[in-house]
Amino acid sequence: TFTPPAIDYDRGGFWSITTYDSDGWLARDKAAISNSEATPNPDGSYTIRFNSPGSPNNVETPSPFTALLRVYVPKSKEIAMRYLRSESKNLLIK
């Protein structure tokens, strides 16, 4: 579960999460999800599920895999840097 930083959606901004296999290739056909297709939680955060068919925001992955969050067109450089500093840690996927 994560809350994306302030993104300027009116200027074409978006976020995406893409998964890759152990060789660095796109993991599967449904290897990514973005703000245009993800369903937010009531508080504005997003819960992304991996290998949970039928669940909202599911992404299919092999085992092992890596995931990369991309954020395009943040509202400002300062907002982006503050977000990166506060969120820059490895997330444990259960």
Domain range for residue 15?
9-87
- Smallest CA-to-CA distance from 16 within 54, 55, 57 is with 57
- Any domain includes 24: yes
Which amino acid is present at 75? Answer: K
Total domain count, the chain: 1
Is the model's pTM score more than 0.75?
Answer: yes
pLDDT (tens digit, 0 to 9) for every residue of the chain, 94 residues total? 888 888 898 989 999 999 999 999 987 778 999 999 999 999 999 999 999 999 999 999 999 999 988 888 878 888 877 877 775 555 544 4
DSSP, residue by residue, 28-88 = STT-EEETTTPPPPTTS-B--EES-TTSTTEE---SS-EEEEEEESBS-HHHHHHHHHHH-
- Any domain includes 35: yes
Which amino acid is present at 12? Answer: G
